[in-house]
Amino acid sequence: MTLKRIANIGCGNDYLQDAINIDLYAEKADVRHDLNVFPYPFSDSYFEEIRAYNVIEHMDDVIQVMREIHRIGTDGCLVHLRVPHFRSACLYEDLTHRHGFAWRSLDIFIDGGSVYGNYASFKYEIVSREYTPYILPILYKLLSKMPVLTDNFLSKFVPMASIAFILKVVKPGSTKSAG
């Protein structure tokens, strides 16, 4: 039985036993690397699952980070991301945060996305996304069912925390689908 190759990018204090934990500053990491420096020290299509919780908002170039995650992920690799919502107090409390995110921020990486252009030659599929709650998880499940209204209006009145995404890496010529 072989273990799945999992990357825990920007592990911080969340060291995962069955993963390769990558961080420059964490007290404990398997690989020390500045995530703003490309390429990452892994071969193409190496990881079957990638986790980057509360990481990409710190990066200089989100598009380049997503390109690099795509490069090191296998076709069909699941990428778990959590990023701060653009109206989250957490976005502004941490002075190292460079970016906030909306529901459709990562749509530039998918076919048929509805956001302002095609800035990436690499593709993902969005498997799922949801607002993460401060309180009342049922409320945030409801808000996740009406994201345009939530991002543009309701988030002015309901405290937002972050958005959790699960993406699937789609390599050129792939026949795999999120279906």
pLDDT digits (tens, 9 = 90+) for 55-91: 999 999 999 999 999 999 999 999 999 999 999 998 9
Residue 135: pLDDT band (50, 70, 90) is confident
Residue 104, domain member (yes or no): yes
pLDDT digits (tens, 9 = 90+) for 29-59: 999 999 999 999 999 999 999 999 999 999 9
Q: Which CATH number characterizes residue 16's domain?
A: 3.40.50.150
Among residues 128, 168, 132, which one has the least CA distance to residue 150? 132
- Say which residue, 175 or 17, is predicted with more confidence: 17
Residue 178, domain member (yes or no): no
Residue 21, domain member (yes or no): yes
**For residue 177, pLDDT beyond 80:** no
Please give the Cα distance from 39 to 67 (Å, whole number). 10
- Number of neighbours of residue 75 by Cβ within 10 angstroms: 15
Domain that includes residue 13, residue range:
6-170
pTM of the model: 0.92
Residue 92, domain member (yes or no): yes
**For residue 116, pLDDT beyond 70:** no
Residue 65, domain member (yes or no): yes
- Number of neighbours of residue 55 by Cβ within 10 angstroms: 21
Residue 177, domain member (yes or no): no
Question: Which stretches of the chain are DSSP H helices?
Answer: 62-72, 89-93, 137-144, 147-152
Please give the Cα distance from 14 to 17 (Å, whole number). 10
Residue 179, domain member (yes or no): no
Tell me which amino acid residue 28 is. K
The number of folded domains in the chain is: 1
